[in-house]
Copies of this chain bind each other. A is one copy, B any other.
Amino acid sequence: MEHANYGALSPLTFIERSAAVFPERTAVIHGELQRSWEQTYERVRRLASALRGRGVERGDTVAVMLANTPEMLEAHFAVPMVGAVLNALDVHQEARTIAFILQDCGARVLLTDTEFAKTIEKALALLPSPPLVIDVDDPQGGGGEGLGKLGYEALLAEGDPTFIWEPPPDEWEAIALNYTPGTTANPNGIVYHHRAAYLKAVSHVLVWGLAPHPIYLWTLPMFDCNGWCFPWTITAMAGVHVCLREARGEAVFEAIRRHRVSHLCATPAVLNALLAVSVERRPGKFDHPVKVMAGAAAPSAAVVEGIEAMGMEITHVYGLTEAGGPAAVCAWHPEWNARPREERARLKARQGVRYPMLDGLMVADPHTLVPVPKDGRTIGEIFIRGNTVMKGYFKSAQATEEAFDGGWFHTGDLAIWHPDGYMEIKDRAKDIITLDDEPSSSLEIESVLCRHPAIMEAAVVARMDEELGETPCAFVVLKPDAANVGATEIIEFCRQHMAHSMVPKTVVFGELPKTSTGKVQKFKLRAYAWRL
C-alpha cells in the first residue's frame, strides 16, 4: 500500500518528472545526436526492463565501463530502477584491477564501450564466471571490437519503453558502488544510497543557484563518484547533458561556445587541459556566464586567474567518494569581489565550509575529536557527518565502523580552521613533512612554488636525508611557454618566500604521475625521491 505522505527519497523521481513536464526539451547531446527527455526516459525504461528480463534483481550489481556517453547517463537511472546497484568503473584502470572489482562486486551484467575492449577482454579472462557483457559501440568512440554477443541497442530492443518501475522500498537502499583508485593494495568499494544521492543532487542546486534548464558539459567523468551526483542534479532541473568523451581543452571550448554551456565540473586535470591551450587559441571571454565547479585539489592563484579571465567563474569544492562528491564549498561572499586579486585567489583556494545538506563538518584532533581552535594555524583532521555520507564500505563492516568512529566520518585529510570558519587543507595526513621536528605541510610549499612565473604545477614530498632527517623534495612542471629555469633559481625563489626550514633541498623537473581523476600520486613521488 502506498502512502499519501511518504515516498522514498530517490533521484529516480527526477527523470519521471522532467520527462512528464518537459518531454520535448533536449535532454542529451552527443556529437550530432540529440535526444529529448521523453526519448531518454523511454530508453531508460527499456534498459531497466531489458535488464530485468535478463535476470537482474533487486540488490544485484551492474557494472559499466563507459565514457561520458548517453548510455552512461541512461545506466545511472535504469540500473537503480530495477533495484540494482551501479558500479561505474574507472576506464583508466588496469585489467587486473578491473577483474578484482568485477569479482568483488559480483557484477551480473557489464556494459562496456568498445574503445575499452582490450582491457576488458584481459579482465574477463581472469574471471571464473564473467558477467553478461553488453557492447556499447559509440560512433564518437575510438573503435574497437565488440566482446559480447549482444549490443546495447539490441538489448534496448528487448525492453519495454513503458516499463513500470518502483522506487526503492527503503530510501537507504544502495544505488551505487564506487571503488576508490587504490594507491597501494586493492581498491575499496564505497556504497552510496538513494537518500544520500537525492540530497546530494539537490544540494548542488543550492550551491550554484541553478536555474531550471542548465546546460551542463560532462568534463568530469561520470565514473568519478557518479559524476559527483550531477547525472541526477541536471536531470532534476530538466537541463541538457552535453556529453564529451574526453575533456581536451579545445573540445571543451568548442562545446561551451556551440551549446552555450552554463555549467561544468573540473578536476585539476581538466583545468590544466584548458590552460594548456595556448592563449591565442583560447576563446577570449565567453559571451554568456559559465560556472565551473573545481574540486580534487585547490586551484592555484594562477589557475583561478587563467580560468576566470575567460569569463568562467570558479566555485571551489572539496570532497571525496565517501561523501558522493563535494562535502565542502568555498561559499563566496559577494563583498570579496572587491578585494585585491591575490587575496581573492587566496580566499578562493580555501576548501571552505560544509556543503548544504551535510549536517556537520569540523576540523578536530583525530584521537579526541575535540575541534581545533579557529586560529588559522592548528592542524587537525577534517570530519564530516550527515545524510550525504556513504552507507558504508562494501563488505567491510569493520572498516565502516572505524571510519564512522565517534559518530563522524574520518576523512583522513588535514586542515586548519580560519577564524571565519573556513577550513583550508594542509594536506592528506601522509603528506605532512616533519622539518626541524615541526609538522609542515607540503601543500604550503607547493602553493609558493606555483607563484613562480615559470611553474605550472608542483608537488612536494618528504625525502629522507641521513644527516638532516626529512627534507622537502619538489617536483615541478614548467609552463609550455616558460623560459628555462634551473633548480638553483627555484630554490632561491623559495628562500625569499618561505621559512628556511621549508625550502626544498631537491628540485626535480618533469611530468607528475596522476590518478585518472587528476590527483597527484604522491606515493610514486615519494618512492622516486627515496631512490634519488
A212 interface residue per 8 A CB criterion: yes
- Is the pair A202, B211 in contact by a Cβ cutoff of 8 Å? no
Interface presence of A253 (CB below 8 A): no
A2 and B407 contact, CB distance less than 8 A: yes
CB pair B213 A334 closer than 8 Å: yes
Given contact pairs A5-B385, A5-B387, A386-B5, A236 touches B20 in the complex (Cβ within 8 A): no
CA distance A386 to B209 in the complex (A): 24
Lowest 8 A-B CB distances belong to which pairs? A209-B211, A2-B407, A7-B359, A4-B404, A5-B389, A4-B409, A21-B353, A4-B385
**Residue on B with the closest CB to A13?**
B359
The digit string for A1-18, where 1 denotes a CB below 8 A from any CB of B, is 111111101000100010
| CB of A331 within 8 Å of the partner chain | yes
Against B, the Cβ 8 Å flags (1 = close, 0 = not) of A366-398 are: 000000000000000000111101111000000
A100 within 8 A of partner (CB): no
- How many A residues face the partner with a CB closer than 8 A? 47
Q: Mark A339-377, 1 if CB is under 8 A from B, else 0.
A: 000000000000001101001100000000000000000
A333 contacts B209, C-beta separation under 8 Å: no
Q: State A333–B210 Cα separation when bound (angstroms).
A: 16
In whole angstroms, how far apart are the Cα atoms of A331 and B18 in the complex? 11
Chain B residues with Cβ below 8 Å from A359 are: 7, 13
Taking CB atoms and an 8 Å cut-off, the chain A residues in 243-281 that contact chain B are none
Q: List 15 A-B contacts (CB under 8 A).
A: A3-B385, A3-B404, A4-B409, A5-B387, A5-B390, A5-B392, A7-B359, A9-B387, A13-B359, A17-B354, A25-B333, A205-B205, A206-B237, A212-B331, A236-B356
CB of A163 within 8 Å of the partner chain: no
The DSSP consensus for interface residues of chain A is loop
Contact of A2 with B209 in the complex, beta carbons under 8 Å: no
Residue of B nearest to A22 (CB): B333
CB distance from A417 to the nearest CB of B (A): 12
Distance in Å: Cβ of A398 to nearest Cβ of chain B: 15
Bound Cα distance from A7 to B387, whole angstroms? 6
Whether A131 is near chain B, meaning CB under 8 Å from some CB there, is: no
* A331 partner residues in chain B, CB cutoff 8 A: 21-22, 212
- Chain B residue, CB-CB nearest to A352: B21
Asked if B212 and A209 make an inter-chain contact with CB atoms under 8 angstroms apart, the answer reads yes
Output the nearest chain B residue to A354 by Cβ-Cβ distance. B17
Instruction: Kindly state whether residue A196 has any CB partner on chain B within 8 Å.
Output: yes
Please state if B21 and A421 are interface contacts (CB–CB under 8 Å): yes
What residues on B are CB-neighbors of A13 within 8 Å? 359
Q: Mark A205-237, 1 if CB is under 8 A from B, else 0.
A: 110011111000000000000000000000011
A354 to B403 alpha-carbon distance, docked (Å): 40
Number of copies: 2
Whether B206 and A209, one on each chain, are in contact in the complex, defined by CB atoms closer than 8 angstroms, is: no
* A209 partner residues in chain B, CB cutoff 8 A: 209-212, 237
> Does A152 belong to the interface (CB within 8 Å)?
no
- CA of A482 to CA of B356, assembled, Å: 51
Q: A5-B196, A7-B387 are in contact. List 20 more A-B contacts (CB 8 A).
A: A3-B385, A3-B407, A4-B384, A4-B403, A4-B407, A4-B409, A5-B387, A5-B391, A5-B392, A5-B404, A5-B409, A21-B353, A22-B331, A206-B212, A206-B237, A209-B209, A209-B210, A209-B237, A212-B331, A236-B356
Q: In the bound complex, how far is the Cα of B1 from the Cα of A387, in angstroms?
A: 15
Which residues of chain B are near A25, meaning CB under 8 Å? 333
Question: How distant is A74 from chain B, measured CB to nearest CB, in Å?
Answer: 22
Closest to A383 in B: B4
Q: Judging by beta carbons under 8 Å apart, are B4 and A389 in contact?
A: yes
CA distance A384 to B3 in the complex (A): 11
Bitwise interface map of A from 162 to 205 toward B, beta carbon under 8 Å scored 1, else 0: 00000000000000000000000000000000001000001001
| A286 proximal to B (CB < 8 A) | no
**Does A408 lie at the interface of the complex (its beta carbon under 8 Å from any beta carbon of B)?**
yes
Quick check: B356 and A407 within 8 Å, CB to CB? no
Chain B residues within an 8 Å CB radius of A212: 206, 209, 331
Chain B residue nearest in CB terms to A385: B4
Cα–Cα, bound, A202→B207 (Å): 12
Q: A205-B205, A206-B237 are in contact. Are A386 and B21 (CB under 8 A)?
A: no
Whether the Cβ atoms of B202 and A385 lie closer than 8 Å is no
Among residues of B, the one whose C-beta sits closest to the C-beta of A390 is B5
Q: Hey, which chain B residues are within 8 Å of A17, CB to CB?
A: 353-354, 356
**Cα distance A403–B4 in the bound complex, in angstroms:** 9
B residues in contact with A387, CB < 8 Å: 5-7, 9
Complexed CA–CA distance, A5 and B358 (Å): 9
What string of 1s and 0s marks CB contacts (under 8 Å) between A447-488 and chain B? 000000000000000000000000000000000000000000
Residue of B nearest to A199 (CB): B9
Candidates B7, B386, B407; contact of A385 at CB < 8 Å: B7
